[in-house]
Amino acid sequence: MSNYLKYEKSPYLLQHKDNPVNWYSWCGEAFKRACSEDKPIFLSIGYSTCHWCHVMAHESFEDAEVAEILNKSYICIKVDREERPDIDAVYMDVCQMMTGAGGWPLTVIMTPEQKPFFAGTYFPKRRRFGQEGLVEILGRIARLWENHRERLVDAGEEITEAVRKEQGCGKQMENEPDSGILHKAFHQLEQQFDEEWGGFGHAPKFPMPHQLLFLMRYSFAEAVPEASQMAERTLEAMARGGIYDHIGGGFSRYSTDDRWLVPHFEKMLYDNALLILAYLNAFQATKRQEYAEIARNTADYILRELRDSRGGFYCGQDADSDGVEGKYYVFTPEEIRQVLGERDGTEYCALYGITEDGNFEGKSIPNRIGHPSFSEWKQGEGRIQKLYKYRQERTSLHTDKKVLLSWNAWTIIALLWTGQLLEEEKYVKAATEAERFLRESMTDKDNRLYLRYCGGEAAHAGQLADYAVYALALLELYRGTFQIEYLREAIFRAGQMQEYFEDKKEGGYFLTASDAEALITRPKEVYDGAVPSGNSVAAAVLFKIASLTGEKHWQEASDRQLHYLINEAGDYPAGCTFGLFTLTGVLCPHKELVCAVKDSLPGELTEYLKKTLVYGLNVIIKTEENKEELAECAPYTAAYPVPESGAMYYLCKNGACMAPVRRFDELGAELGTGYF
């Protein structure tokens, strides 16, 4: 017996289609029925690779007793947080306000008017170790709804009003963007830094690659070597721990211990894309090959296991195999020796910490903790291929085959960087093919963006992150290819972002578009969590477009957004590190280089840009073929003549222009060092 979720495309919702609970997706029919039957809404939010979502599903939503209570007294709605981040953001704020914490599965009970009066996360079926069980909660609230409804309705009104006030309480725009906020963020991260194992705070530890990117850029810009040392210590420790998949590449979601050994085994696309950027940044700064190797292996994991046949990328892979967390990833010494033979197996076990006692529930997670030698690491590649094949044959992982636009945009950036810095064209090709897929399959008849693609269907209106990260990816594609259509499209998407999302009264950008479905609040997110917030990415986009186009409109928009971000960051700027990553570039010397050339790019410039992401440098290529289209994007370039032969270079630094030169080598050290 299936419920209404059988009509959905989301892998998470389809996981629940055969529950005895009479689930609806978030739709008008569900709320209409709640009103007509005079019942409260039971809202459950999760995602398909969430371990505790699976636990609660098995314990409660597949249980006939729980289903009977829910079907009798509630209208039940399931939401995939990855498909509807707006709904998730609204009710996660509610949960954090009511309980002081949040997470998934997110459990909310509310009136038919969507006003919440109860919130929490995972609940066992029955009371356990002092935690109230779902059966008790549902029974108690059903009785209150029947006999003392006014209490719940009043609570829903109060909570909704409190959330609205909190979200509408903008900070006064008193602080000016300056390096003081960068120093403050660095010192806050420094205070939380784990000197022994890297990372910030105690377990569970999350990678937070945008913090590492900020530290590396801050270290370079402000000459603070301690900052890059913190980032490198973290990258090294993660690469040696079990959070990194030493057989198949890629990183798990987070570590349950301080030394990155035992992960929560789910792998998410966005984590891996952002970590590629962090490792490549470290590689470019240090030239250490292990950083390049980790980035390459992670990119290969994405291409091999998360790529759709049309060029897009799936959301991620589950932590569980055959219902057991981590089963896919762990080994016994006997298994290793069976696959590799006695000699190679014994050596592999010694190198990768595979022991009889194990390090995870009697088995071992391969890791390199205590084995810092990269040469030893590289020696095991042939063995790793055998173990990868064996692992795939032994069991399998569930893959969430949704394509999310903003996560794909991060992946495009990561693959482009990988291809450029490691000089491997296949990654650039994958990036451009992914962008083509987004453009062709995830835009509607009005050229607006969809949020997700799944099962041959694009759905759900794009939200701030979709427009912002896609625009950023387009700008990076222009930087990597100099195809003018990428710059033109980036400017167009940034224009849509302004038109539909900007809060012209209080500053910043809303999560949802002005013509989107109305929820109880219209949130604005500034905090950089698992991924950088849409507002932080918007700041990066606006600054890059202002630098490339020289247009006053974009410069003013960039200034507004940076003012908004630093004031919203308040006393904890370490929570807004991707925004500060952009601010560092604004405050430090920046350069614009226009190369006017009749036909193809000069070989010296091509070679230089192929190997180098230069900190604070924006490059525009003007040719006879693109000059009119380029002038539409960047009007100032109309004044730069295209020479009859050869190239002419125009370099401006901090608003002052140097004399044009004919030869690339005449630019010399003025271009700056190769560091993003």
Token pair, residue 123, equals: 């609940």
Task: State residue 607's pLDDT score.
Answer: 79
- Band of pLDDT at residue 24, cut at 50, 70 and 90: very high
Q: Is the pLDDT of residue 378 over 70?
A: no
pLDDT (mean) for 255-276: 96
Which positions ≥6 away from 588 have C-beta within 8 Å?
221, 615, 616
Over residues 264-277, mean pLDDT: 96
Mean pLDDT along residues 612-624: 82
| pTM, to two decimals | 0.92
Tens-place pLDDT, residues 533-589: 999 999 999 999 999 998 999 999 999 999 999 999 888 999 999 999 999 988 887
303-312, 442-451, 610-619, 650-659: which range is least confident on average? 610-619
How far is Cα 597 from Cα 593, in angstroms, rounded to an integer?
13
Asked if residue 669 has pLDDT above 80, the reply is no
Give SS3 for 155: helix
32: tokens are 């209409």
Quote the pLDDT of residue 128: 85
Query: How high is the pLDDT of residue 168?
Result: 65
Per the DSSP assignment, residues forming a β-bridge with 324 are 321
Of the chain, the percentage scoring pLDDT greater than 70 comes to: 96
Specify the pLDDT at position 598. Answer: 85
Sheet containing strand 106-110, strands side by side: 23-24, 75-80, 41-46, 106-110, 116-120
Q: Give residue 382's pLDDT band: very low, low, confident or very high (50, 70, 90).
A: confident
What burial class does residue 567 get, using C-beta atoms within 10 Å of its C-beta: 0-12 exposed, 13-18 middle, 19+ buried?
A: buried
The pLDDT of residue 612 is 67
Check the CA dihedral 568-571-574-580 and report its sign.
positive
Write the pLDDT tens digit of every residue in 344-369.
999 999 999 999 999 999 999 999 99
What average pLDDT does range 141-150 have in this prediction? 94
The interaxial angle of helices 381-394 and 333-340, nearest 10 deg, is 110
The per-residue b/e assignment along 292-315, b for 16 or more CB within 10 angstroms, e otherwise, is: bbbbbbbbbbbbebbbbeebbbbb
pLDDT of residue 499: 98
613 or 441: which carries more pLDDT confidence? Answer: 441
Residue 674: is its pLDDT beyond 80? Answer: no
pLDDT of residue 658: 83
pLDDT band at 664 (very low <50, low <70, confident <90, very high): confident
Confidence of residue 213 (pLDDT cuts 50, 70, 90): very high
What pLDDT does 377 receive? 55
pLDDT reported for residue 40: 96
Mean of per-residue pLDDT scores for the chain: 92
Taking CB atoms within 8 Å and a gap of at least 24, the contacts of 151-154 are 152/40, 152/111, 152/117, 153/111, 153/115, 153/117
613 pLDDT exceeds 90? no
What are residue 205's phi and psi, to 5 degrees?
Answer: -110, 130
d(CA 131, CA 135): 12
Mean pLDDT of 421-449: 97
Please check the confidence at residue 380 and state whether its pLDDT lies above 70. no
Confidence of residue 276 (pLDDT cuts 50, 70, 90): very high
Residue that has been written with the tokens 């000459």 in this structure: 223
As a whole number, mean pLDDT of residues 127-141 equals 91
Percent of the chain with pLDDT strictly greater than 90: 80
DSSP secondary structure of 439-507 = HHHSB-TTSPBEEEEETTEEEEE--HHHHHHHHHHHHHHHHHH--HHHHHHHHHHHHHHHHHHB-TTT-
**What residue type is assigned to position 242 of the chain?**
G
pLDDT confidence of residue 672: 62
**Whole-angstrom distance, CA of residue 285 vs CA of residue 24:** 51
pLDDT tens digits along 37-71: 999 999 999 998 888 898 999 999 999 999 999 99
pLDDT attached to residue 673: 55
Strand locations in 248-325 (E): 254-255, 263-264, 267-268, 314-317, 320-321, 324-325
For tokens 């005449």, the residue is 666
Look at residue 444 and tell me whether its pLDDT is greater than 60. Answer: yes
pLDDT of residue 178: 84
Residue 187 CA from chain centroid, whole number: 25
